[in-house]
């Protein structure tokens, strides 16, 4: 079954060993970016050096439209025969926003609220980065529906780190 897995960095090795993904997305601050794991094809590892901030003026390396464009292009090259793993530092914000963007792209328009609620159900800790989601909303031409869907999720369970969470691309 085609699926995305979102995990914190601390669980990445386990996720790679257990699930055998074909594609990997790392969203970490530029100074903490990891090398491609041993044995994993470098061409199938997208590294996005981005900080987890929602105000572009608040710090360095904010999420930008170019990051979402790279993510969407990379994910469209995934044949879904094996899982894709997406991780950030804690598995709560940048990686969840990226999963939301890929799910919205793959599952089609007018499913944003359904997808956001499925994320909340599977990952009570999810707090997708709003700036990444705004860029995805713009890139996918969703007219604010993705941001609106985030608002429908309700508050996240406050945790220091998320757990590995699976999102099927069918039957959310």
Domains detected in the chain: 3-33+42-168 (3.90.190.10)
Question: CA angle, 5 as apex, 110 and 81 as ends, to 5°?
Answer: 85
The answer on pLDDT for 171 being more than 80 is no
Q: For the chain, give the mean pLDDT.
A: 96
Pairing of strands 84-88, 165-168: unpaired
Lowest model confidence (mean pLDDT) among 34-38, 76-80, 131-135, 152-156 = 152-156
Q: What is the pTM of this model?
A: 0.97
Q: Which residues contact 105 (CB under 8 A, 6 or more apart)?
A: 72, 75, 76, 136, 140
Q: What is the C-alpha separation between 73 and 88, in angstroms, rounded? A: 19
Instruction: For CA atoms 123, 132, 89, 46, give the dihedral sign.
Output: positive
Residues in the chain, overall count:
172
Q: Are 4 and 80 in contact (CB under 8 A)?
A: no
pLDDT in tens, 98-125: 999 999 999 999 999 999 999 999 999 9
Please answer whether residues 120 and 47 qualify as being in contact, where contact means their C-beta atoms are separated by less than 8 angstroms: no
Q: Is the pLDDT score of 162 beyond 80? A: yes
Q: How many CB atoms lie within 10 A of CB 42?
A: 10
65-76 helix and 94-107 helix, angle to the nearest 10 degrees? 50
The yes-or-no verdict on residue 172 having pLDDT over 80 is no
Q: Are 118 and 157 in contact (CB under 8 A)?
A: no
């Amino acid at each position: 079954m085609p699926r995305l897995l979102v995990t914190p960095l601390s669980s990445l090795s386990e996720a790679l060993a257990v699930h055998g993904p074909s594609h990997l997305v790392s969203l970490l601050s530029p100074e903490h970016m990891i090398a491609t794991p041993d044995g994993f094809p470098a061409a199938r590892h997208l590294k996005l050096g981005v900080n987890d901030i929602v105000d572009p003026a608040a710090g360095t390396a904010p999420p930008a439209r170019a990051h979402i464009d790279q993510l969407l292009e990379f994910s469209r090259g995934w044949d879904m025969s094996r899982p894709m793993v997406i991780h950030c530092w804690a598995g709560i914000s940048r990686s969840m926003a990226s999963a939301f963007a890929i799910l919205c792209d793959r599952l089609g328009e007018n499913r944003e609220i359904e997808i956001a609620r499925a994320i909340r159900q599977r990952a009570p800790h999810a707090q997708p980065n709003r700036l990444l989601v705004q860029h995805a909303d713009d890139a996918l031409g969703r007219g604010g529906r993705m941001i609106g869907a985030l608002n429908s999720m309700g508050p996240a369970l406050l945790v220091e780190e998320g757990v590995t969470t699976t999102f099927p691309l069918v039957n959310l």
